[in-house]
Amino acid sequence: MVVIGLIFAVVLAGAAVPLLKYLDNELVARRFAAAPRPASGEIVYLAIDKKTLDTVGTWPWPRSVYAKLLEKLSGAGVNDIFIDIDFSTPSSPTEDTALAEGLAKVGGGVILPVFSQRLSAGDPGLLAVTRPIPMLGANAWLAFANVVADDDSIVRSIRGGDMLDGQKTQSVAAVLGRSDDADGSVLIDYSIDPKTVPMISLADVFDPAFDDNRLAARSVVVGAYASELKDIFPVPVYRQLPGPLLHILGAETLKQDRLLRPVPRLPLDLGFAALVISVVLSLRARPTFLVAWLATAMLIAIEGLAFFLQKNYGILLSTASCWAVLLLGILLALTEKVNFSRFLMEIANAEQRNIRRLLRKVVTDSTDAVIAFDHNMNIFEVSASAGPMLAASTSSRRGTSLEDVLPSSLYRQVLSLVAELVREPLAVHGCTHEVAVEVDGSLRHLDATVTLSPLERPDETGRSVTTSFIGSLMIRDMTARRHYEERLRYLSQFDDLTGLMNRRTFSTHLKEYEGQFFVLAIGLHRLSVINATMGRDTGDDVLRGVAALLTAEPRITAVARLGGDVFAIVIPKRGVERQEEMIEIVMDLFAAPMKVGLSSNQLSVRVGICADMLPDEAGDVWVERAEHALDDAARVAGSGWRAYDPAAALQQQHARELERAMRDSLTRGEFYLAYQPQVDLRTGRLRGAEALLRWNHPSFGLVSPATFIPVAEANGFVCELGRWAINEACRQAALWPDELSVAVNVAPVQLIRSDLVADVGLALQRHGITSRRLQLEITESAFVERSSQVFGTIKALREMGIEIALDDFGTGYSNLAHLAEFPLDKLKIDQSFVRKLADDPRSLAIVQTVKSMAEGLCLRVVAEGVETQVEAQLLAAMGCELGQGYYFGKPQTSKDILRLLDAAPWITAA
């Protein structure tokens, strides 16, 4: 009866059983593969393959490429054209217009894809629709191009259509297959061989020698084939196919009238189950091989019928349940001939014996000590590791008393647990206990877990009562872990190299000192040179020698190593009135050379002092102040010292806070660009603007570039800021007319540490502006190293068409020799000369000289800091090409720059 119940349970569950569903799908796929059929040849696949990508070049393609393709296909006399490319985002206006005009010329015969996605599983009507941009969609036939996989990620069907703007809209397969239906899903007939679909590389179509007759009067699907484009889906039979080929197979399914129709499985499965049960029961007296032979014949018959119906009529017959029913039928036949209950009992007994042997093997071979004992405290099971761990040779034998094996403290713990069991006989009792055992002259730390489990035994009347227990001991050797923890505890408090207190321990001990004292931070000068020239081992010996030197001085009451080559000491104020006296104590220690091995090293040190401390301040604050003073002392050549200066420390802290906030601010969009106009001094017309980096922090407010730029240059973050500024400036310039340029400042470190050429090229390509509209401004400090890398970077940028301007000329390090060698296009005269132009004859002479020099070097001149009309006219009279300053406009937004185009010229030609 159990097996018969299983048979009907399988039938009723059917496709809900994952294994049966998988088997049904595999059987259908095998039938497809056994009866292949050719495609109609009326739909041609124009594949964007690797050959096409290599021929056209960039991807995504400019949309004018598709316009040329449409013109080619229209001339070839094709029917429908489906382009399986997402056009839902705008390209450049020129490219979008070119494709829209190409679609209009074809006259609406082009199908463009629409994609829909369910926004909520609970509301199947809520869709997110992605469609071509309006100017393309208005001149095309829209059709849904979704490819949806089943739960096992395999594509077996394609939808007939979906709702678009309140109207039923067909899928691509329905349009190409000339179907009028837009409802439901269409099962793809994978017996249609994809290899028989005409496929032509799109590169061949672009070839002028291509024979257009190969496409005449056919429908065309243009789509990805190259694996690089990742438009690949898993399918039955053929493993993987490109998305466009799935639309073609769906259309072929409709064109060949191969609409696959599944047969309701429940009536067939119930009838087949009843047949199998009746046959098995009627043949219970016959030999078993006869039942097996009949089951095989029935399976062959039903699979043959399923293949015939699927091949000739497109009828899908689910037979996986029939396989399961036949297997269960054979099991039913066996149970009728064997006492199944006895068979199961024998299996259970054998399994129980195996489990007992396995448990004994696990206990015996355990690396931890395992001891099992009874209520008489006698051992009945023990692991081989227990004897060596407990230093008791008798523990390796069963029947030994537990008292003879365990340490006394652990045995007392077991007895205490037994007493608890007597008070509460029905509960399981357990505890853990740590014990130390001396083994071979060394102390071993053990961690023991004791568990007592009650047992029920029958009394004289046969009732089950709890009168005994079994106990277990799990003992683990924790000696190595205990030593490791002690080592970690030591390392958390002391320096491993010198044995001195570390920073945390030193800061804690400072609070324990009574009276007034000085905290000094001592930094060794040029220890890195010793490491480099004499080896790191010698450097370590020097550090140990310094530790011994400081510890031996009786007036120093505490010594710590803060890290690297920095030490900290405490000197009480009693007997020491002035800070200079403390410095003499320290400097005298290092007056003589330190002998390390066979060499002597003269050490110079720098010292930072923290003298004024409040009782309620933490010790780490005192150490930090001494280190601030040491940082100031490090700026002094040779040996030197400084006392803690709150103002300098506050400035350093602010710089560190800015450094920590920079990266998050860039991510949150708190950096922005302001644009200062650049005007043609001869005509007064706007020619462009310089992009100036600004930072508006929610806590710090507007941070001056003079404050945050040096910090960014020091930590290297200026490379990321510069990359963002170039990209943002190009994005805004793309919204300006073509005659306006944008200038961006480049820090010297960007020329060395970042790939500036790649950053600029990517920004220009991403936002579609020409290289002549971008100018990069560098400062004279870039001349200092005059490295080949800097020259090579600027040369590569100029070859791209980028103009290079030298900013703040006259205030830095450059000379005429640099200017003659450096590849430049412009000089920017510093505003300090321009602002004195009207009143200072020397500034006027300097500007005239710079202009004459620039003409000789074929460089244009930009004057910064123009604030009055007189200055603008004087600069124009001297022949300066461009002017920039508050007279023409303060730094402003990109939109404000556009408004200046309509303003009257600021000046007239001189």
Q: Cite the active site residues.
A: 864
Instruction: Look at residues 744, 770, 761 and name the one whose alpha carbon lies nearest to residue 689.
Output: 744
Cα separation of 725 and 673, whole Å?
A: 7
Cα separation of 199 and 813, whole Å?
A: 66
| Radius of gyration for the chain, computed over Cα atoms and rounded to the nearest angstrom | 44
Cα separation of 312 and 299, whole Å?
A: 20
Cα separation of 290 and 288, whole Å?
A: 5
User: Which three-class secondary structure state does DSSP give residue 173?
Assistant: helix
CA angle 757, 759, 763 (to 5 degrees): 120
CB crowding 792-827: b at 16 or more within 10 Å, else e: ebbebbbeeebbbbbbbbbebebeeebbeebebebb
- DSSP letters, 739-779, are T-EEEEEE-HHHHHHS-HHHHHHHHHHHHT--GGGEEEEEE
Cα separation of 429 and 471, whole Å?
A: 9
User: Which three-class secondary structure state does DSSP give residue 329?
Assistant: helix
Cα separation of 498 and 547, whole Å?
A: 6
Q: Are strands 860-864 and 566-572 parallel, antiparallel or unpaired?
A: unpaired
How far, CA to CA in Å, does 486 sit from each of 126, 477, 480, 483, 491? 63, 16, 10, 5, 9
Cα separation of 75 and 321, whole Å?
A: 55
How far, CA to CA in Å, does 517 sit from each of 579, 612, 633? 11, 9, 20
Q: Where are the alpha helices (DSSP H) in 424-496?
A: 479-491
User: Which three-class secondary structure state does DSSP give residue 5?
Assistant: helix
Cα separation of 362 and 38, whole Å?
A: 63
Instruction: Look at residues 215, 194, 178 and name the one whose alpha carbon lies nearest to residue 79.
Output: 215
**Residue written as tokens 């029939």?**
322
Instruction: Look at residues 77, 69, 79 and name the one whose alpha carbon lies nearest to residue 103.
Output: 69
Instruction: Look at residues 195, 194, 199, 202 and name the one whose alpha carbon lies nearest to residue 69.
Output: 202
How far, CA to CA in Å, does 787 sit from each of 84, 273, 331, 752, 822? 51, 87, 86, 9, 11
User: Which three-class secondary structure state does DSSP give residue 442?
Assistant: strand
CB crowding 871-894: b at 16 or more within 10 Å, else e: bbbbbbebbbbbbbbebbbebbeb
Cα separation of 390 and 409, whole Å?
A: 13
Terminal Cα-to-Cα distance of the chain (whole angstroms): 112
Instruction: Look at residues 421, 511, 399, 429 and name the one whose alpha carbon lies nearest to residue 466.
Output: 421
Reported for 707-711, long-range contacts at CB under 8 A and 24+ positions apart, including other chains, are 707/658, 708/658, 708/662, 709/747, 711/655, 711/658, 711/659, 711/662
Cα separation of 887 and 626, whole Å?
A: 50
